[in-house]
Structure formats: structure tokens, C-alpha cells
Copies of this chain bind each other. A is one copy, B any other.
């Protein structure tokens, strides 16, 4: 933390800021410069509400220096986290493919897709049963009936299940029916939900909030980690910008800094990230090349009849082509698609 004083701050102003720093059990390092003084602070700054320094006389600006996340930080945990799930491992070295419909619509379509995935060696099936929808009048998912379908899909085909959980009360039921609990973009800062999945027995797939900075995202992961659940998987799914050629702006350039500052694995979601079927394939390949640890993608036997997100959903044939290209690319990069 650094406090930058105004040019005309008095000696008394500076002394008062230093006194206040020391009174909080921290250490003040005044640095007089040509035009102004800056005051460095060392110590456990996270314990206090540092923005309140801005209210003191003669203070121009406050510059935060340390990152507030700890358990999510690579500095505290140098080795990459690898999440074992459904007979595979999500983390560096592999490139994990998760695929399935936006919504589970009925048992036969879920079963058909899961069988299709199993035949191709894809081990994780995604499918929503609790659906966060912008409109209260839109299809909200099959809910508990959907959970029972997911259980039967897992039992029959052996695929692992990834599905979204939307509120603390659902966690226990969803844990039963799934292998990975997904937290959606709109819930990235739903703190009661984060605390609850921090107590869960399943890995958590934490989608980035639509307008979350990397730091806020890692702080959301910190909530889960601080609860005791160490199996957090990040997932970039597009951010909100002025750009209108895609539904969201898929921020692949968050992958290298996420890897640099955190040890958590990170996936990419080109379906929501672009919102257009035609762009899913190239952006999936780009995600692999940028260093993502895997992919979550929407597929459907007949996207034009899908109950949600049909416009961004691949057909099974298109998914097959994508899988082939991913495997070729992964090989060139010394990695393995699983």
C-alpha cells in the first residue's frame, strides 16, 4: 500500500498519516520526493479498510500494491492444482473436454448425447437443470426431475456430470447427482452460495463474472478455498464490452495471467463466449493454443429445436470435427485431449 500526498501537503499532514498507520500496527515508510511525499506501508494491510486513508488531510491518492487473495495465489501455492474427476484429471498436461446440451430437455436426448460422448472418449457431460434465465417467462429448467435424469445418465453411461447450482439450498441435492458443481457467471459474487460450495464434496467450476476483474474472480475462488474446498476450476466465458460482433467478448488473454498469478486450472467456454455457432470452433482452438486446461462446449443433436441457446450450440457432427482438430492441435503443443 502506498499513500501519495498532495504537493502542498504540510509536514503535519504527513506526520498525522504516519501516526495513523503506526496506530494500526503497521509500519510507515515516508519517501520525500521533488514535488510530493509518498508513504509506503508494510504489514498486514488486508485486515483494515485501507480506503479510509483517503479521507485524511493532505492525501491525494491511495495505491494498493499487494493482491488480496492468498489461497488462490501462486505465491502461496507454487504447484499447479490438478483436479481428479470422473476418471480423468483437469490441469496442465491434459486438455479436458466437457460437452453437452445447454438444458437437459428430456431423458432420451440426454442419454443420446452422453452415449455419443462416451463413444468418443469424452468423459464429462454438461447439462443444466436449474437455468438462470434473463426472462421470468423463459424455460427455467427441469429442476429436480432433471437431477434424476442426470443420475440415470451417469449410471448408464459412466460419464461424469457437470451441472449448475444456483442457491445454497440446492447444493446438497445437486452434489448427489453430479461430479462438478458449476457456479454461473451471474453468481460469481453470490457469496452465500460460494460459502456453501466451499463446504461441498465436489469440485467447483467457477465461471468468471461478466464484468469481473481477474482479481475479483480469484477473490471469489478464495471464498470457496477458504471454506475448505480446494478443488476450484476457473472458467472464462466472455466479458461484457462495447463490442457487438459476439454476444460477449471471450477474453482469452486472461489465461496467461491467471496461470501466472494462480495455481488453479482454467477452462474456456466458447459457446457463451461468442454466442454464435460459427465462431465456436476457431475460438475453441484458440483457447487451447492460449494455454487453457480444457473446454466446455454446448452440443445438441438438433440445435434449431433446442429449448435454450440453440444459436450457439454445435451439432454432433460439428463437435466431431472440432474434436479431431483439437486433438491434432494438442499433439503439436505436446498435450493430450481427454
Which residues of chain A have a CB within 8 Å of any CB of chain B?
A: 2, 4, 6-8, 29, 31-36, 38, 40, 42-44, 46-47, 49, 51-56, 61-63, 65-66, 68, 75, 132-139, 166-169, 186-187, 189-193, 195, 210-211, 213-214, 216, 219, 222-223, 226, 239-246, 249-258, 260, 273-274, 276-279, 282-283, 285-291, 303-312, 328-329, 331-333
CB neighbours of A138 from chain B (8 A): 49
Assuming the contacts A7-B75, A240-B211, asked whether A286 and B290 have C-beta atoms less than 8 A apart, the reply is yes
User: Across the interface, do A43 and B49 meet the contact criterion of CB distance under 8 Å?
Assistant: no
- Of B187, B243, B253, B311, the residue contacting A279 (CB under 8 A) is B253
Report how far A273 CA is from B56 CA in the complex, Å: 21
User: Across the interface, do A244 and B66 meet the contact criterion of CB distance under 8 Å?
Assistant: no
User: Across the interface, do B40 and A305 meet the contact criterion of CB distance under 8 Å?
Assistant: no
User: Across the interface, do A51 and B253 meet the contact criterion of CB distance under 8 Å?
Assistant: no
CB neighbours of A249 from chain B (8 A): 239, 241, 249, 251, 253
Q: How many copies does the complex hold?
A: 4
Closest to A211 in B: B211
Give A204 Cβ to nearest chain B Cβ, in Å.
14
User: Across the interface, do B55 and A311 meet the contact criterion of CB distance under 8 Å?
Assistant: yes
Assuming the contacts A52-B303, A65-B63, A243-B214, asked whether A260 and B278 have C-beta atoms less than 8 A apart, the reply is yes
Report how far A40 CA is from B240 CA in the complex, Å: 29
Report how far A138 CA is from B312 CA in the complex, Å: 35
Closest to A290 in B: B286
CB neighbours of A35 from chain B (8 A): 66, 75
- Of B6, B51, B307, the residue contacting A309 (CB under 8 A) is B51
Interface centre among A65, A244, A253 (most CB of B within 10 A): A253
Closest to A45 in B: B33
- Of B2, B137, B223, B245, the residue contacting A214 (CB under 8 A) is B245
Assuming the contacts A52-B306, A279-B256, asked whether A135 and B68 have C-beta atoms less than 8 A apart, the reply is yes
Report how far A290 CA is from B289 CA in the complex, Å: 9
Closest to A130 in B: B192
User: Across the interface, do A311 and B51 meet the contact criterion of CB distance under 8 Å?
Assistant: yes
Task: List, sorted by A's number, 24 A–B pairs whose CB atoms are closer than 8 Å.
Answer: A2-B40, A8-B75, A32-B42, A38-B65, A49-B309, A52-B303, A55-B277, A63-B65, A68-B135, A135-B219, A136-B195, A167-B168, A167-B192, A211-B242, A213-B243, A214-B243, A241-B241, A249-B253, A252-B283, A256-B283, A257-B279, A283-B290, A329-B333, A331-B332
